[in-house]
Structure 1
Amino acid sequence: MTSGTLVAQITDYANRANPYPLYAELRKQPVRREDDGTYVVSTYYEVRSLANDPRLSNDTSNRPSGYARVGQPDPETGLPPSFIFTDPPVHDRLRDTINRPFGPPHSPRFLDDLRGELTKVVTELLDAFEGKDQVDIVEAFSYPLPVTAICKVLGVPREDEPRFHGWADALASSLDPQAGGDGQAKAQQARQDMGAYLTDLIETKRRHPGPGMLSALAPDMTPADLEATAVLLLVAGHETTVNAITNTTLTLLRHPDLLERFQKDLDLAVPLIEEVLRYEPPVQFIPFTTALADIEVAGTTIPAGSPVWLMLAAANRDPKRFKDPDRFDPDRKDNEHLGMYTGIHYCFGAPLARIELHVAVPELFRRVRFSGLLEDPPPYRANAVLRGPRHLPVAIEGLTD
């Protein structure tokens, strides 16, 4: 992206804490062509239409040379692309296979049966707040819960969970188009290290099946496809949920009137969480799609072969779709946001993420007596795509039972 353009400003860390004025400026031209030939789409109906258009490809091998090709097979590991970086029919075959042990109709109770264990983890994490007058919500709460959940879903031994922290950070950072050579090198090393770990674990699961998706999928997938899927689920399955829990906490602490209302009526959790997913989505934009044919969008023709960015966070605040979109409003009706994307690439882990949020957020605000934020804005992650605070230090007065 050309330095100084709106998109360059959006990806600039200096604007990470509040990119929304830049998104508003971006929406004045629903489809923008950057100097490098990338088309940036920022308004709700246009983003939604393209995300459901089969002429837009997620297979990054279709990108012109010279553009970042996240998701491409790694020559060092030999892994194929994960299914989110494929198109039908490959995408549909892989996603259908992966869904069988994950949810309905084949495994209707798999995720719901995790609630008890996740509730126990939440209780243990909050019990550790006792005696403290300040905590970092990310390190003490938002991170440990999702990584425990995704390791449980996959069947990763809990004692191995700490090894995934660094791997997941490096791999998530590689999705950022501004990551650069160093970020890509760290991601490649993380893939190799995690790949070696998963190769051994998957082989163990083949010989000695146990609970979790790795055991369930081992008979139906090649080792390479299963390993690529595990890497994807590890990163996408916890990184976005960390951001969602943290963004919810930050948003409520910035709206004390709604915080007080929520603490008196925890049943508000469902619409409140959906509004956070609209207002502060954990995935800000999709930077890796490519037009397979000429596509007419809002009076602009996107030529075949052009890279396309879909700006989800900008679309979620489009005043043509949402009334008073910059206002955080849990009572908002018809909140069909794009916080979990849409179309065939709708977030695979959305059901798990919502269960985690619905277990974690009400209990966090039921038990913790918050005094306020210690930093506002807090320090953010470098990643412009998976946007969320790296730390969220808060002052607390204690816990209720």
Structure 2
Amino acid sequence: MSPDTLYQRITDYANRADPYPLYAELRENGVSRQDDGSYLVGTYHEIAALLHDPRISSDWRNRADPSSVPLIRRSSEQMAFIGHDDPEHDRLRRIAMRPFGPPHTPGRIDALRADITRICDELIDAFRDKDRIDIVEDFAYPLPVTVICRLLGVPHEDVPRIRAWTNAIIAGFDLTPGQDEESRQRAGQDARLAMGEYIGDLSDKRRDHPSDDMISALVHDNGPDGRLTRTELMATGTLLLIAGHETTVNLISNGTLTFLRLPDAYRLLRDKPELMPRAVEELLRYEPPVHLLPQRTPLADIEVADVTIPKGAPLVLVLAAGNRDPLRFDDPDHFDPMREDNQHFGFGSGIHNCFGAPLARVEAQIALNALVPRLEGFQLSEDPPPYRRSSILRGPRHLPIERA
């Protein structure tokens, strides 16, 4: 098929269960201009260079045709730091990181280990005697959403609202064309506004009644970069709340699916749980939670693999394709929990690399080590399982398993 339809085929839900042949086609074709005017890059070294190139913008306002940007992204007031370029990105990110981890709050993530372990054990105890389990609903979703809500200070009783808003927001970023595209984006925009207002109201309460959560820390931060405005708090809190659990759900679900598909890897990790940190890194390469970065824009004409990408053109970095580039990784389609030199794009790279990576790693390592022994005697109820619609955040919507 023509390489100028690759983006359409990659985002087609029919290919969600196995997009990797399309990623191989993309790598073979080099930089691919699409029929909508966007440019796809799927080779490791080119993606790495672009992620570190200051001429590549994350701000949609630098797009030559702003109308090509999804409605849900066209709000400067709702832009969190991932939608800004330096120096504003750097300022907002530094403020957000101060209460999250090193160097200002070095013990916050490690202090969560006991809680994460306890939550894992409670969730597993709840389905210990069942013959059929949905890994997503029963384990992979409730764990990270509980952790991030506690970290931020969101009451547990509000989790159902958070989930409904998150689902609508993620659907609003769905790149699959369809008759309901505009309504999806509007519903996502409405959900984003509602979640932002919720975070704003929570921040207002913490001004007079601070707690030990991150929202309180952000509200009362007197660091050298100043405090976040209420609008900035709303955007930052929304980002942390969504990104703080959505990607980890996929990481745990994709990991479980991979282990059940590969009995040798499963037995190795069951018998040697100390290998799980390295296995999680391999999962981040082999079946990453985030597959695409569709929001990049060149600030000038740039040359990539002998192709000129014009200033202002939509640029899509297919991270999951780079993660399986044979020019970078030996036997890249093989899952190797002992793999060394594994500098993957599971958390991006460059100035926009995921600063929640330490938390996601800890959650996944603890969760999968707790879950693996309990998978003994279980098999997949269906393979492939039903996937979520998003081509950006790719993972099973449900992952039913049953006793063999």
Q: Does the TM-score normalized on the shorter chain lie above 0.5?
A: yes
Name the counterpart of 2:193.
192
1:62 aligns with 2:62: yes
Name the counterpart of 1:354.
361
1:381 aligns with 2:384: no
Instruction: Check 1:132–1:173 CA distance in 2 against 1; reply closer, same or farther (3 A cut).
Output: same
Stretches of structure 1 lacking an aligned partner (at least 5 in a row): none
Name the counterpart of 2:130.
132
SS in 2 for 1:200: helix
Name the counterpart of 2:213.
212
Aligned-pair CA distance for 1:263: 0.6
SS in 2 for 1:324: coil
Q: How does 1:226-305 map to 2 (within 5 A)?
A: 226-305=233-312
Name the counterpart of 2:326.
319
1:24 aligns with 2:31: no
Quote the Cα distance in structure 2 between the aligned partners of 1:117 and 1:270. 19
SS in 2 for 1:277: helix
Q: How does 1:11-160 map to 2 (within 5 A)?
A: 11-63=11-63, 64-69=65-70, 72=73, 74=75, 79-160=77-158
CA offsets, 1:197-222, max 9 Å, x none? 22221110111000211100113211
SS in 2 for 1:5: helix
Structure 1 stretch 377-386 or stretch 174-183: which is displaced more? 174-183
- 8 Å CA contact 1:57–1:291 kept in 2: the answer is yes
- Give the count of matched residue pairs: 393
Aligned-pair CA distance for 1:70: 6.3
Stretches of structure 2 lacking an aligned partner (at least 5 in a row): 221-226
Aligned-pair RMSD on alpha carbons? Answer: 1.6
CA offsets, 1:267-295, max 9 Å, x none? 11011111111011110010011000111
- 8 Å CA contact 1:177–1:287 kept in 2: the answer is no
Quote the Cα distance in structure 2 between the aligned partners of 1:79 and 1:303. 27
Quote the Cα distance in structure 2 between the aligned partners of 1:85 and 1:315. 22
Instruction: State the one-letter code of the partner of 2:194.
Output: D
SS in 2 for 1:257: helix
Q: TM-score, structure 2 length as denominator?
A: 0.94
- 8 Å CA contact 1:56–1:290 kept in 2: the answer is yes
SS in 1 for 2:195: helix
Instruction: State the one-letter code of the partner of 1:236.
Output: A
Instruction: State the one-letter code of the partner of 1:183.
Output: R
Q: Which of the pair is proportionally richer in helix?
A: 2
Q: TM-score, structure 1 length as denominator?
A: 0.95
Name the counterpart of 2:352.
345
1:225 aligns with 2:232: yes
Quote the Cα distance in structure 2 between the aligned partners of 1:280 and 1:375. 18
- 8 Å CA contact 1:60–1:288 kept in 2: the answer is yes
The percentage of aligned residue pairs carrying the same residue is: 52
Aligned-pair CA distance for 1:193: 2.2
- 8 Å CA contact 1:41–1:309 kept in 2: the answer is yes
Quote the Cα distance in structure 2 between the aligned partners of 1:348 and 1:378. 30
Structure 1 stretch 367-376 or stretch 91-100: which is displaced more? 367-376
Aligned-pair CA distance for 1:170: 1.3
Aligned-pair CA distance for 1:24: 0.4
- 8 Å CA contact 2:4–2:35 kept in 1: the answer is no
Aligned-pair CA distance for 1:162: 2.0
CA offsets, 1:45-76, max 9 Å, x none? 001100110100000111123312466464xx
Q: How does 1:141-180 map to 2 (within 5 A)?
A: 141-178=139-176, 180=181
Instruction: State the one-letter code of the partner of 1:201.
Output: L
Aligned-pair CA distance for 1:176: 2.6
- 8 Å CA contact 2:253–2:399 kept in 1: the answer is yes
- 8 Å CA contact 2:151–2:213 kept in 1: the answer is yes
Quote the Cα distance in structure 1 between the aligned partners of 2:86 and 2:197. 29
CA offsets, 1:218-263, max 9 Å, x none? 1321111011011111111111100000000000000011111111
Structure 1 stretch 328-337 or stretch 134-143: which is displaced more? 328-337
Structure 1 stretch 386-395 or stretch 165-174: which is displaced more? 165-174
Name the counterpart of 1:391.
398
Instruction: Check 1:37–1:269 CA distance in 2 against 1; reply closer, same or farther (3 A cut).
Output: same
Instruction: State the one-letter code of the partner of 2:57.
Output: S
Instruction: Check 1:123–1:70 CA distance in 2 against 1; reply closer, same or farther (3 A cut).
Output: farther
Aligned-pair CA distance for 1:194: 1.6
Instruction: State the one-letter code of the partner of 1:45.
Output: H
Quote the Cα distance in structure 2 between the aligned partners of 1:4 and 1:383. 21
Q: How does 1:358-373 map to 2 (within 5 A)?
A: 358-373=365-380
Aligned-pair CA distance for 1:111: 1.0
Quote the Cα distance in structure 1 between the aligned partners of 2:388 and 2:36. 26
SS in 1 for 2:388: coil
- 8 Å CA contact 1:172–1:235 kept in 2: the answer is no
SS in 1 for 2:79: coil
Quote the Cα distance in structure 2 between the aligned partners of 1:19 and 1:359. 28
